[in-house]
Structure 1
Amino acid sequence: MGFTFLLFIAFLSVAHAISGPKVTSATVGRPVTITCRFDPYYSNHQKYWCRGYNRATCHVLVQTHGPMMKSHDGKIKISADNKNGQLTVQMDQLTTNDKGWYWCGIERHHLLDYLSPTELKVTEGQKLFPSDKERLRLFIILGIIFGTLAMMLLGLVILVIKKIRKHKDNDNREKESTIENSIPKSNSVLSKELAEGVTYATVTILPSDRPQEDAPTYDNVKPSNSQEAIKPSVIETPASEPMEYSTIVFKK
């Protein structure tokens, strides 16, 4: 009973001397600030920030020798406000390797130091938004890529259109060549008339084997005076020269 009471008193004295958060959460790549409160009675005592699972193995990372001190790698800063009893620790450029147990401590000569533990949890967060310079560079690269793709697509479309037109021109030339080959080259008038849609037909007249008897025969013979008197009037056909007809009958 007495030993438990002494432990309780010791815990109260430590808690009264210095205290801090039990758990601190942080994100990879971002800074974190941890604040511990201490009794101003210990304003003249040196304060420190150490890392370790228990106080016996706690390794001092940075300690106060004035208003502010930094760690060797510059990632940790510690400052003590002795008037208000506040110890501030700032850790920068956090990684997942920084997670673990840390302690705020007050150094006491020839006595056990006062320590207050806190567990630091570091998690992967959302990726940081790129700076304006990086964003501009990204936009330029994307613009070049999309511009190149657009030019390639436009060139492909033009090439396809040219091939289609060339194919049509070749078809038209073949059709014209077929029509020209079907028309004799020596007859230019016939070719022109065929192009204008003139159609020709061939009529063949077969001669008879022998002349028909008693068939009238026509000739350009000047009529006699008696025949001129009895010849009926004939309407002259317009011709290049006057034509007169006479009848000759062959008797048996």
Structure 2
Amino acid sequence: MDLDEAIAILLELLRNDRARNYGYDLYARTGAEFAARQRHPHEHYLDGPVRELSPIFYEAAWELCRRGIVRPGVRRSGEQAVEEGGYSLTVAGRAALANLDAATILIAQPGSLAATFNGYRQLFGDGFHQRAMEAIRCRNAEAWLACCAMVGAAAESILLAIAITKEGDEERVLRVYRGNRGRQAVLNMIIGQADVQRRNTLTTFAGIVSLWRDDAAHGRASPIDTSNADEALRQLLHMCQWVDREWDNLTA
């Protein structure tokens, strides 16, 4: 059992109200019990397996706290608390569960997300991979602005990878990129002959670049927080998936 699996189990229990008890929305131990029953379906006494699995589920519960989905303590004053304690959903956590999908679960799993982005390394290049991994590390360190800046940089690397493959001349593409309004010029290289749907979709994804990269470049204080960082990573994931599917059309 690894951290990503434990996080996924706790999210599923939260979504289905299967971890609620004694005034709490979630017990880490409930996740350990659920996993133990899955592993040992024919055993009646699971104290040993639950004890063995409990550390990773306590860590997973803390990870959900760090991401603002749950908080320690009872749901409201006056509800019962027990010695071992539990967690309750935050307002943001309730909103996240209402829209829970595969991407949301993946964003909450740092190991699986890193493996997914790593799968695009060969297509988008080392520059993309470096920036995507930095974005995840910044997210895990709660450096929200840095995470969003690295997401924008990773998205920019995707645009460069498309343009270089399409043009077949890396030096020329990089010269254009370094020139005046270089980012837009590179985007125009890609979408100049594309159909309307692909042109609009890639332009929308390119907004990730302008939004996060440009915001980070200014010296003003930024209100970016955990929800922005998670949404930026979600957008980058969707961009990777879409460009991968459309690669031949975009580079033809």
Global fold match (TM > 0.5): no
Q: TM-score, normalised by structure 1?
A: 0.19
TM-score (norm 2): 0.19
Structure with greater proportional strand content: 1
Higher helix share: 2
